[in-house]
């Protein structure tokens, strides 16, 4: 299980490296994620039903509890990513978090079976938040660990990595669909003990698959703490805020040619191009008189060009991340209010009147992804590539923008359908009966579920790819957590919006009786916010500068020879002493 830091000795030939990684390794991790998503969505997809029907919570209270738990599950990966990047490495973090995840699932199963009613609610909530901790370590590392199996210096493997993100999400959605079809049916028709017990078995299987592929993985040990790197650049820039590069600067510090001493060898001759935005940070890489006269580089006073540009990459992603919060609001409604809407509509199917569980309606959005992703990857991308010349067909930001538009459109369609549902209830005088099944087919909800599928295929996959591709190589676990936390914060925003709307409307919009509520007003409000957000996103996206990587310039190496020679000589003396 041990991970070692990658050697920095450039004399190591490619023949001496172990033949690991590539699709043969990534495929194991895709299956790990597929089974883990089966378990996670088997719980989250029907959680609002358990809270209202078993624990007796109101619809609004249950929706807030679901959003808060999902929010914690998706924000905690920031902690897990920090631990992976700074201390344990991705492989070890996945290993430890999988054990925590499994223990949480076992406790969850016990909470609905052998735990007495007086303690059931407490144990239930403790177990799902233990799950959130396991999710926090597992989620940010798995995708990054899989993507790390591809060599970025190989054009063929770079193309494979571009395709990987599409197939990764396809595998993920396959697990989600299986959960919505199998697990939710068992929970609604057989029992919660069987349903939750199956999830514990799934996590055990996921862990087993992960261990089977151990010998095929390329592993990378922990690097420098990303937060330390950020702090060093900020402190150095502040300390040199009065330094003028042209007047009293002695040049720019390019580092020791290697991006980071313990990164994989392929990064040794690649560096980030110098950019013209966030220029105040450039002060951190200017060599002034004090640096030039020193035999030892102070990392809190002088940072390399790569280190400064890495921090610029992180800062540049923040405005994009903020405007992307919106497209995660629609899925937040899908697992809460959409499910409660479906429970009031006719769901019988076929001559035997098979009743579709309301939470299983979410699988329709997944079916869209399963069908559309292969079409997008195999047909649309090559077609678009002919017109744009871009390897991905359209840019990652364009892909996200399409999803943001569809997300706002989803809420508009949902509002119109809800108005129709309430209108039917009014026509049949059923508005005062919250448990009544209204004479309207559940298929009216299909358009909004289908649209969410397209939102996922465009925005979520696009943001995943952007956060991996544009993050510094030493911060890619953090990049995955950065993407995941977007969904977490969106769920917190959804929970806060519910509280605000409840208070402002005096519970008239989101009452316990959906038939007498004005859920359509809430959806119209979200649609309006979405279209305004889209305008802001377009402005932000136009200003975004993509990461530029260039080969190491021998001239820069010559410029730095004297400075690096002094610091390396001092390091040798310290080692001998």
pLDDT digits (tens, 9 = 90+) for 279-337: 888 888 888 888 777 778 888 888 888 889 888 988 889 999 999 998 888 777 777 78
Helices 461-470 and 476-505 cross at an angle (nearest 10°) of 140
Let me know whether 345 and 363 are in one domain: yes
Let me know whether 291 and 420 are in one domain: no
Q: How confident is the model at residue 263 (pLDDT cuts 50, 70, 90)?
A: very low
Specify the higher pLDDT residue, 176 or 414.
414
Specify the higher pLDDT residue, 263 or 60.
60
Domain presence at residue 476:
yes
Let me know whether 264 and 158 are in one domain: no
Q: CB under 8 Å to 459, separation ≥6 — which residues?
A: 324, 327, 399, 400, 402, 403, 404, 406, 407
Q: How confident is the model at residue 355 (pLDDT cuts 50, 70, 90)?
A: confident
Specify the higher pLDDT residue, 506 or 417.
417
Domain presence at residue 30:
yes
Let me know whether 273 and 135 are in one domain: no
| pLDDT beyond 70 at 11 | no
pLDDT at 101: 93
Let me know whether 176 and 113 are in one domain: yes
pLDDT at 470: 86
Domain presence at residue 10:
no
Domain presence at residue 577:
no
Distance CA 297, CA 283 (A): 15
- Over the stretch 306-322, which tens digit does the pLDDT of each residue have? 889 888 988 889 999 99
Q: How confident is the model at residue 416 (pLDDT cuts 50, 70, 90)?
A: very high
Domain presence at residue 574:
no
| pLDDT beyond 80 at 130 | yes
| pLDDT beyond 90 at 408 | yes
Let me know whether 522 and 545 are in one domain: yes
Distance CA 110, CA 114 (A): 5
Q: Taking the CB of residue 471, how many other CB atoms lie within 10 A of it?
A: 24
Distance CA 518, CA 508 (A): 7
| pLDDT beyond 90 at 208 | yes
Let me know whether 390 and 282 are in one domain: no
| pLDDT beyond 60 at 574 | no
- Over the stretch 154-198, which tens digit does the pLDDT of each residue have? 777 777 777 787 788 788 888 888 888 888 889 888 889 999 999
| pLDDT beyond 60 at 569 | no
Average pLDDT over residues 73-94: 86
Let me know whether 159 and 51 are in one domain: yes
CA 438, 444, 446: angle at the middle one, nearest 5? 135
DSSP class of residue 380 equals I
| pLDDT beyond 50 at 261 | no
Let me know whether 171 and 205 are in one domain: yes
Let me know whether 254 and 206 are in one domain: no
Domain presence at residue 490:
yes
| pLDDT beyond 50 at 264 | no
Distance CA 397, CA 522 (A): 28
Average pLDDT over residues 371-392: 86
In this structure, what CATH number is given to the domain that contains residue 363?
A: 1.20.1250.20
Among positive and negative, which fits the CA dihedral 30, 35, 41, 44? Answer: negative
User: Are 514 and 434 contacting, i.e. CB atoms less than 8 angstroms apart?
Assistant: yes
User: Are 207 and 69 contacting, i.e. CB atoms less than 8 angstroms apart?
Assistant: no
Let me know whether 269 and 299 are in one domain: yes
Domain presence at residue 6:
no
| Domain of residue 319, residue span | 19-221+312-549
Domain presence at residue 9:
no
- Counted domains in the chain: 2
Let me know whether 25 and 108 are in one domain: yes
């Amino acid at each position: 299980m041990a991970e070692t830091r990658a050697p920095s000795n450039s004399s190591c030939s490619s023949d001496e490296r172990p033949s690991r990684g590539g699709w043969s390794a990534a495929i194991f991790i895709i299956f790990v994620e597929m089974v883990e998503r089966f378990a996670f969505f088997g719980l989250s997809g029907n959680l609002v039903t358990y809270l209202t029907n078993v624990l007796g919570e109101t619809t609004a209270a249950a929706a807030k509890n679901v959003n808060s738990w999902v929010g914690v599950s998706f924000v905690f990966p920031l902690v897990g990513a920090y631990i992976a990047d700074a201390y344990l490495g991705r492989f070890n973090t996945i290993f430890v978090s999988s054990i925590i995840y499994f223990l949480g699932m076992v406790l969850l199963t016990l909470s609905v079976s052998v735990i007495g009613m007086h303690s059931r609610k407490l144990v239930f909530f403790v177990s799902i938040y233990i799950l959130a901790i396991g999710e926090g370590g597992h989620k940010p590392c798995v995708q990054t660990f899989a993507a790390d199996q591809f060599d970025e210096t190989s054009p063929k493997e770079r193309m494979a990595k571009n395709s990987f993100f599409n197939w990764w999400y396809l595998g993920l959605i396959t697990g989600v669909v299986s959960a919505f079809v199998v697990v939710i049916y068992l929970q609604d028709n057989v029992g919660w003990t069987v349903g939750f017990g199956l999830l514990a078995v799934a996590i055990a299987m996921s862990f087993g698959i992960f261990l089977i592929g151990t010998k095929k993985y390329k592993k990378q040990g922990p690097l420098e703490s990303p937060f330390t790197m950020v702090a060093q650049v900020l402190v150095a820039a502040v300390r040199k805020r009065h330094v003028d590069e042209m007047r009293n600067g002695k040049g720019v510090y390019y580092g020791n040619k290697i991006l980071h001493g313990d990164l994989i060898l392929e990064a040794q001759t690649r560096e980030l191009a110098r950019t013209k935005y966030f220029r105040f940070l450039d002060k951190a890489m200017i060599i002034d008189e004090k640096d030039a006269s020193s035999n030892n580089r102070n990392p809190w006073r002088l940072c390399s060009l790569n280190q400064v540009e890495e921090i610029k990459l992180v800062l540049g992603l923040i405005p994009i991340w903020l405007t992307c919060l919106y497209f995660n609001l629609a899925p937040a409604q899908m697992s809460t209010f959409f499910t409660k809407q479906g429970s009031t509509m006719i769901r019988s199917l076929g001559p035997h009147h098979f009743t579709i569980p309301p939470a299983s309606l979410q699988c329709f959005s997944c079916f869209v992804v399963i069908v559309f992703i292969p079409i997008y990857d195999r047909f649309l991308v090559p077609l678009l590539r002919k017109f744009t010349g871009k390897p991905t067909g359209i840019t990652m930001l364009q892909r996200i923008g399409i999803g943001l538009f569809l997300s706002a459109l989803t809420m508009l369609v949902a509002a119109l359908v809800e108005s129709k549902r309430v209108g039917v209830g009014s026509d049949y005088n059923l508005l005062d009966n919250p448990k009544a099944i209204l004479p309207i087919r559940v298929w009216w909800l299909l358009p909004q579920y289908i649209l969410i599928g397209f939102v996922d295929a465009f925005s979520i996959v696009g943001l995943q790819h952007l956060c991996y591709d544009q993050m510094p190589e030493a911060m890619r676990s953090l990049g995955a957590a950065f993407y995941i936390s977007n969904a977490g914060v969106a769920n917190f925003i959804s929970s806060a919006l519910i509280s605000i709307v409840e208070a402002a409307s005096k519970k008239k919009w989101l009452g316990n009786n959906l038939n007498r509520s004005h859920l359509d007003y809430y959806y119209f409000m979200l649609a309006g916010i979405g279209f305004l957000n889209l305008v802001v996103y377009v402005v932000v996206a136009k200003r975004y500068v993509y990461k530029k990587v260039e080969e190491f310039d021998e001239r820069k190496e010559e410029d730095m020879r004297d400075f690096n020679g002094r610091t390396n000589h001092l390091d040798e003396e310290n080692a001998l002493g």
